[in-house]
Structure 1
Amino acid sequence: MPYNKHSELPDSVKDTLPAHAQDIYQAAFNNAWDEYADPDKRRGDDSREEVAHKVAWAAVKQSYEKNEAGKWVKK
């Protein structure tokens, strides 16, 4: 279930992340969705979707962080 546009992203993403961070999330999720299609490539019992979300959040956290007010800002 790759995402084609920002409006399809989960509320936890589209309601909290800036547009550029949403781009990062979407690209990382879609890439991980393809990369981890084979269960043998995943660690543990996580589903394909769970792994893709984890990868996407990790990608966002490379460039963004939460500030004191709880807003996501570029590092």
Structure 2
Amino acid sequence: MDEIITWIRSKNPELDGEISGDTDLIESRLIASISFLEFISLLEDLSGRSIDVGSLSVDDFRTIDRINENFLVPVA
């Protein structure tokens, strides 16, 4: 999770506040569409698996907690 928060902060240098697990990253515009594919690449690197962009929903990325559940928790 630290890598994700570090990435978000690097894209939002003006951000002073805390990013918690339930911070709405979409509503707060912390993940911009222009850097979305770069973010997907980060998640692929962290998870060690490919992400099918065609099957994604904005809600999959709404919070750090959802990102963790959808992409970083090991597949059983």
Report the TM-score, using the length of structure 2 for normalisation: 0.31
Structure 1 length as normaliser, TM-score? 0.31
* Structure possessing the higher radius of gyration over alpha carbons: 1
Of structures 1 and 2, the one with the larger relative CO (CA 8 A, separation 6+) is 2
**Structure with the larger strand share:** 1
